[in-house]
């Protein structure tokens, strides 16, 4: 069974910089524009009352 990796806020800040965020979004939108992106169906999870989570 795989081990779950826990990251602290400082771990995430160190690994996911603004440059990394920009590069990942650029790659994602480039793939989308070229028709190469894989877009799975959205999953809607009902919550309490009118709450809904989009996954």
Per-residue pLDDT of 5-52, as tens digits, reads 999 999 999 999 999 999 999 999 999 999 999 888 888 888 888 888
Q: SS3 for 1-55, per residue?
A: CCCCCCCCHHHHHHHCCHHHHHHHHHHHHHHHHCCCCCCCCCCEEECCCCCEEEC
Its pTM stands at: 0.55
C-alpha to C-alpha distance for 40 and 27, rounded to whole angstroms? 17
């Amino acid at each position: 069974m795989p081990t779950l990796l826990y990251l602290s806020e400082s771990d995430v800040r160190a690994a996911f910089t603004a440059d990394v965020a920009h590069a990942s979004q650029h790659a994602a939108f480039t793939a989308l524009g070229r028709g190469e992106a894989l877009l799975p169906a959205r999953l809607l999870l009902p919550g309490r009352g009118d709450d809904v989570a989009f996954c």
